[in-house]
């Protein structure tokens, strides 16, 4: 249970997730004119967030998933680091 809570905490406190939902809310929020729909959107978003990141927390708290990650950790970090680094350079060059 401790591993599950750790995984849930790590994934649910990821700042990228908060930024994603905050940016989504800036588009959806003003488009919703009735309070009941806004409350429904908020509750629905909370449920989706809990299900997705709760599942991530549960999945990555299992020994098999952690072992698989440890085995491919360097390769996956190199691939994702290169992709996100390239994307960052592309975005910076595109803005000029």
Average pLDDT over residues 78-87: 94
3-state secondary structure of 47: helix
Is the pLDDT assigned to residue 64 strictly greater than 80? yes
Residue 82 has a pLDDT of 96
pLDDT value of residue 96: 65
Domain boundaries, the chain: 2-94
How many Cβ atoms are within 10 Å of 8's Cβ, its own excluded?
19
pTM for the structure as a whole: 0.50
Q: Is the pLDDT of residue 2 over 90?
A: no
pLDDT tens digits for range 11-61: 777 787 778 777 777 777 677 778 888 888 889 888 988 888 778 777 877
54-79 in b/e form (b: 16+ CB < 10 A) is: eebbeebbeeeeeeeeeeeeeeeeee
| Cβ-contact 17, 49 below 8 angstroms | yes
């Amino acid at each position: 249970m401790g591993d599950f809570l750790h995984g849930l905490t790590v994934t649910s406190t990821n700042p990228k997730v908060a930024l994603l939902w905050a940016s989504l809310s800036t588009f959806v929020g003003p488009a919703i004119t009735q309070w009941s729909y806004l409350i429904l959107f908020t509750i629905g978003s909370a449920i989706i967030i809990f299900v997705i990141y709760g599942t991530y927390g549960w999945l990555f708290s299992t020994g098999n998933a952690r072992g698989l990650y440890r085995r491919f950790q360097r390769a996956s970090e190199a691939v994702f680091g290169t992709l996100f680094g390239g994307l960052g350079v592309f975005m910076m060059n595109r803005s000029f």
